[in-house]
Structure 1
Amino acid sequence: MDNFKAVYKILSTLEKAMDLPEFDISIIDCRALGVSKERWSRYIEMMADVGYIKGVRVSTNITGETIVECNNMRITLKGLEYLQENSIMRKIYNAAKGIKEITPGL
């Protein structure tokens, strides 16, 4: 899965989970996204670093493996803004793509 698609899927799933009392992380874990555990851990770490999510703890064990604890992971306002901006850009891209497909010579 493309990196940005994976990030978008994680964030959009967390946004939908805002209405739920509890969240099942297996919906967006490494197996669900089809990526390695290490790559998934990096996604979570990066999103936490830039403030898109909170409620996670990222550490490294003695062997160098990244450990992610996300018992209370949730999306932040900044994460919601990212989803909004991406949604708008996707609509613009799709509209431009549609115009190009129906307009000869572009």
Structure 2
Amino acid sequence: MNNFKLIFRILKYIEACMEYESFDDDNFTASHFGVSKALFLNILRTLLEAGYISGIKIVTDKC
């Protein structure tokens, strides 16, 4: 999958969740977007650093 398409899908998902009081984090997963966990986390980290998203914390753990 093209990373720009993935970025668009992530941002679109976040935008859709803004209509509700709580964020639907059950479906905000790599598997929901059909990509590896590593790619999903790297894209999220890039979006955070670029200032496109805020309010989330990426926790990486060896376990």
TM over 0.5: yes
Q: How does 1:32-51 map to 2 (within 5 A)?
A: 32-51=32-51
- Structure 1 residue 24 displacement after superposition: 1.3
Higher-Rg member (1/2): 1
- TM-score (structure 1 length as normaliser): 0.52
Structure with the higher helix share, 1 or 2: 1
Q: CA RMSD in A?
A: 1.8
Runs of 4+ in 1 over 4 A off after TM superposition: none
Q: TM-score, normalised by structure 2?
A: 0.82
Identity of matched residues, %: 30
The 5 A counterparts of 1:75-94 are: none
For 1:16 and 1:60, the matched residues in 2 are separated by 26
Q: Which runs of 5+ in 2 are unaligned?
A: none
User: Of Structure 1 and Structure 2, which has the larger fraction of its residues in strand?
Assistant: 1
